[in-house]
Chains A and B, each alone.
Chain A
Amino acid sequence: DVKVTQSSRYLVKRTGEKVFLECVQDMDHENMFWYRQDPGLGLRLIYFSYDVKMKEKGDIPEGYSVSREKKERFSLILESASTNQTSMYLCASSPYAGTSGRLSSSYNEQFFGPGTRLTVL
C-alpha cells in the first residue's frame, strides 16, 4: 500500500520560531510537493521538487524554504514562523512521467500525506 507520511498531525509554535515539517514517501517517486490549504482558498503550491537536491518555487514560496537531500524525504522549513502561516500543510508525491514518447496521464496522480495542522501563536 502506497504511503506518504508527515512528521506531525498537529503542531503549535510561537512567532519567530524555526519550524520543520517533514514528509516521507515509500513509493520511490521523483516528484514531491508542499501545499498549504486555507478556508476559501483551496490548495496552494508552496514548493515542489522533481529530483534530489532540486527545487522549484510554487505559487506562494515567500517565508518558506525546502530541502530534499534524499529521494524519499522532502522538508518544508519556516525560517521565522509568523501568525499568517497558521494553516493546514499537505505533502504529496507523484512519479516522474518522462519527457519522451507519449505521456501517460496516470503519471500525474498525486498521493497525499495526512496533513499537518500548524498553529503559530
Chain B
Amino acid sequence: KNEVEQSPQNLTAQEGEFITINCSYSVGISALHWLQQHPGGGIVSLFMLSSGKKKHGRLIATINIQEKHSSLHITASHPRDSAVYICAVSYGGSQGNLIFGKGTKLSVKP
C-alpha cells in the first residue's frame, strides 16, 4: 500500500518569503498531484506531474521519480496563498483512485 507523507504539517511564513512543501511516497506511481484547499472547503487541482517540473505563476512543482519525492514551491508568498496544500498520487488505473497525504496548512502573515 502506498503511503504519502507530507512535511511540514503546519507552516507560518511572512509575506514575500519563499516556501517549500515536501511530499514523499513509497511505491511507483503514474502521476503526482498537488491540490489546494482554501478555508471553506473547496479543493482545486494545482498541478499533475509525472516527471520534471511544472510552473504556474508563482507556483512551481518538481518531482524526482527515482527518489519518490516531490516539492511544491511558492515564490514571493502572499496572504492569499494561505490554504491547505495536499499531495496525492495516482497509479493510472481506469478508475482514477488517488492516495492522499494529510496536507500542509500554510499561513502567510502580512
What residues make up the interface of A, taking CB atoms closer than 8 Å to B? 9, 31, 33, 40-43, 45, 48, 50, 56, 88, 90, 92, 94-99, 103, 105-115, 117
Contact = CB atoms under 8 A, between A and B. Distances in A.
Given A43-B88, A108-B31, A108-B90, 13 more contacts: A41-B102, A45-B97, A50-B95, A90-B41, A96-B94, A103-B92, A108-B33, A108-B48, A108-B98, A112-B42, A112-B44, A114-B41, A114-B42
B103 A42 contact: yes
18 contacts: A9-B41, A40-B102, A41-B102, A43-B88, A48-B95, A90-B41, A90-B43, A97-B92, A105-B48, A107-B96, A108-B31, A108-B90, A109-B45, A109-B96, A112-B42, A114-B41, A115-B41, A115-B42
Contacts of B103: 42
Given A42-B86, A50-B94, A115-B42, A106 B100 contact: no
